[in-house]
Amino acid sequence: MSKRTPLIAGNWKMNKTATEGVELVQAIAAAVGIESAVQIVLCPPFTALSAVSAAVEGTHLAVGAQNMHDKVNGAFTGEVSAVMLRNLHVTHVILGHSERRSIFGEDDAFINRKVLAALEASLKPILCVGELLAEREAGTTKDVVRRQLELGLQGVPANKADQVIIAYEPVWAIGTGKTATPAMAQEVHAFIRQLLTAQFGAESAGRMRILYGGSMKPDNADALLAEHDIDGGLIGGAALDAKGFVALVQSAAKSLAA
Ligand code: 13P
């Protein structure tokens, strides 16, 4: 870990009603107190955003959405816009998650339009990139990550670069219990920072957070977060219970002191 403020984000996916979400937030807030060394973002489903936003008031926790459309409004049944999210005091939005790409057919061009729309609305995008198992086995991990990153960030102005957060999520590690080793993850994170440096310059790239996601758990987090270019985590399963999630926040705090 470096001087960048670590970020631990919980991607609840399609889990938790609004009521359950508020209970989880209250338990997390009580456990982390006013710990400020680690930035914490909770990303509930749309239906819980309003209640969770109200529940984090006065705490150190921020709220993110899991997706959005790139248009401000219009005939897009089932979609929500950046302006609607901002109105609920949402500050972050996950974009291009592999489940959106593979299950819902989102392509790099659509994801890029969302990234630009999020920035336009002063929402911080968490852009997800990562290779499939077959791509890793074929030795094309870096090609895939390069394509997703370059196309996803096309047109992002340099003065907004540090509003963008990248999440490297090897698809084969998501929800499978298989984690990239710290060395494997660090290699890709360093490559991502190299690409960010080429696009935005060393100073901005040095400030941007690159999160790891994919079966990050309390028992493997210390080693991952100790790597120089791993600035936090995007957590799925382990974000659904307060104890596990808070343990990850504590790992990130510890990595700062190391
Ligand atoms: P898991 O932590 O459940 O593997 O999920 C990771 C993820 O997809 C976060 O966005």
pLDDT digit string, tens, across residues 121-153: 999 999 999 999 999 999 999 999 999 999 999
Domain-located, residue 103: yes
Q: What is the pLDDT of residues 77-127, one digit of tens each?
A: 999 999 999 999 999 999 999 999 999 999 999 999 999 999 999 999 999
Domain-located, residue 227: yes
* Distance in Å, CA 152 to ligand 1 centroid: 20
List ligand 1's pocket residues with C-beta within 6 A: 11, 97, 169, 174-175, 213-216, 234-238
Choose one of 8, 11, 41, 224 to mutate for the ligand 1 pocket test, by most ligand atoms within 8 angstroms of C-beta: 11
pLDDT confidence of residue 177 = 84
pLDDT confidence of residue 64 = 98
pLDDT confidence of residue 258 = 72
Residue 175 Cα: closest atom of ligand 1: 4
Domain-located, residue 192: yes
pLDDT confidence of residue 98 = 97
Domain-located, residue 22: no
* Distance in Å, CA 226 to ligand 1 centroid: 19
Structural domain count of the chain: 1
* Distance in Å, CA 237 to ligand 1 centroid: 6
| Catalytic (active-site) positions | 97, 169
- Going by pLDDT thresholds of 50, 70 and 90, the confidence category of residue 1 is very low
- Report the alpha-carbon angle 243-40-91, nearest 5: 140
N-terminal to C-terminal alpha carbon distance within the chain? 8
Range of the domain at 170: 66-243+250-257
Instruction: Give Cβ neighbours of residue 229 (< 8 Å, ≥ 6 apart).
Output: 2, 186, 189, 190, 192, 193, 210
Domain-located, residue 33: no
Q: Give the count of beta carbons closer than 10 Å to the beta carbon of residue 189.
A: 24
